[in-house]
Amino acid sequence: VIKCRAAVAWAPGKPLSVEDVEVAPPKAGEVRIKIVATGICHSDDHVLKGSLPNVEFPVIPGHEGAGIVESIGEGVTSVKPGDKVIPLCLPHCGECNFCRNPDSNFCQKSHISEPQNLLPDKTSRLTCKRKQIHHFLWVSTFAEYTVVPEYAVAKIDAAAPLDKVCLFGCGFSTGYGAAINTAKVKPGSTCAVFGLGGVGLSAVMGCKAARAARIIAVDINKDKSAKAKELGATDCINPRDFKKPIQEVITEMTGQGVDYSFEAIGHADTMIAALASCNMNTGVSVMIGVTDSEISFDPTLLLTGRTWKGTLFGGWRSRECIPKLVSSYLEKKFNLDLLITHTLPFAKVNEGFELLRAGK
């Protein structure tokens, strides 16, 4: 058993508490990982607020990490101690109907099908003050050590800087893949990206990599514009600068709406605005943001031919694709480093959430 620090969410609506925890050794088919770096994603904030469904408290959140294999359980063959890895919040068991379908990147072992609050044998490897602590999406990267099933681990290049590539665990992969895999953005096309946090900026990078001719970046925080332009946005607009709905502004800017739109916020109204801002016949709108509300919308938005899609983890088949993406980063095919705004010591994890909520 390893004793280490972790940020525990004891109950919804409370800040994280940095505690001494005990992490049990991996059982058969499991991997224990020393987490070296972790990003903070808005979904973790949904956990703290208690608005992400099927999460049980107390829990160690975090799902955007990178680390080094410390030990392996019986039967594990794909990684060994010392390997650099990214734990995967979307597993790839390789056996379910989804995993066996080459067009699918979902896995029936993911949280949307069955909660990942305990490991597959329905027990936890995490304890604090003699209490069982729940895992989050099996990965719980807000801990110095964590235990995950082998099929939720991707081995990556030994040269990868873990403090950068942790973003492949969720934010970058999700936004970049939404453009590349889910929308399949074509060269010369027009795109609009709603929300310029880490995921939205990654979607901008995906549109640029797909050689879109025009990328309109949309955010109410004008401080995001410079970075969006550095990453490939051609236009930056703030909905607060206009008296009319932003979808009308985008339609006027482009003549008939964009070819592709992306919503990386998770608000019902911006999801509908993103849908309405794309071409009414051939436009494709991709929802990336996690929302905790239901949506009512005018079905004629779809009746004319638009396509409305969702994406999970950017459409990547996690265990196969994440190592390749990390290699592309090492070959300098895109600059992930620009997404990182602050680097904090682990004890200041709550300050990280304050920066997130402040749009910084």
135 belongs to the catalytic site: no
pLDDT for residue 83: 98
| Confidence bin at 186 (pLDDT 50/70/90) | very high
The identity of residue 346, as a single letter, is: F
Task: Kindly report the average pLDDT of the chain as a whole number.
Answer: 96
Domains and CATH numbers, the chain: 2-169+317-358 (3.90.180.10), 175-311 (3.40.50.720)
Average of per-residue pLDDT across 307-334: 96
* From 4-13, 48-57, 209-218, the region with the lowest mean pLDDT: 48-57
Answer yes or no: is pLDDT of 197 > 80: yes
pLDDT for residue 141: 98
CA distance 276 to 280: 7
43: tokens are 């979904």
Residue among 42, 63, 111, 134 flagged as catalytic: 63
| Confidence bin at 293 (pLDDT 50/70/90) | confident
Residues 24-73: tens digit of each pLDDT: 999 999 999 999 999 999 999 999 999 888 999 999 999 999 999 999 99
Residues 72-94: tens digit of each pLDDT: 999 999 999 999 999 999 999 99
CB-CB neighbours of 13 under 10 Å: 8
Average of per-residue pLDDT across 195-220: 97
Backbone angle region of 17, left / alpha / beta, with phi > 0 → left and psi within -120 to 50 → alpha: beta
Torsion over CA of 54, 56, 59 and 63, rounded to 10 degrees? -10
* From 74-88, 125-139, 282-296, the region with the lowest mean pLDDT: 282-296
43 belongs to the catalytic site: yes
170 belongs to the catalytic site: yes
pLDDT for residue 327: 97
41 belongs to the catalytic site: yes
Q: Which of 210, 117, 205 is nearest to 168 (CA)?
A: 205
pLDDT for residue 59: 98
Answer yes or no: is pLDDT of 292 > 80: no
Residue among 42, 46, 134, 135 flagged as catalytic: 46
Q: Please tell me the pTM assigned to this model.
A: 0.96
CA distance 273 to 81: 48
Average of per-residue pLDDT across 100-121: 95
| Confidence bin at 22 (pLDDT 50/70/90) | very high
Output the DSSP codes for 60-99.
-----EEEEEEEE-TT--S--TT-EEEE-SS---S-SHHH
pLDDT for residue 291: 80
Q: Are strands 260-263 and 190-194 parallel, antiparallel or unpaired?
A: parallel
CA distance 279 to 328: 32
Answer yes or no: is pLDDT of 272 > 80: yes
pLDDT for residue 348: 97
pLDDT for residue 290: 84
Answer yes or no: is pLDDT of 190 > 90: yes
CA distance 323 to 302: 37
Average of per-residue pLDDT across 159-185: 97
4 belongs to the catalytic site: no
Q: Which of 222, 207, 283, 219 is nearest to 246 (CA)?
A: 219
Residue among 99, 107, 170, 278 flagged as catalytic: 170
- The sheet with strand 84-87 has its strands ordered as 145-149, 30-38, 65-72, 84-87, 153-155
Average of per-residue pLDDT across 94-115: 95
Alpha helices in 63-218 (DSSP H): 97-100, 162-165, 171-177, 198-209
User: How many residues comprise the chain?
Assistant: 360
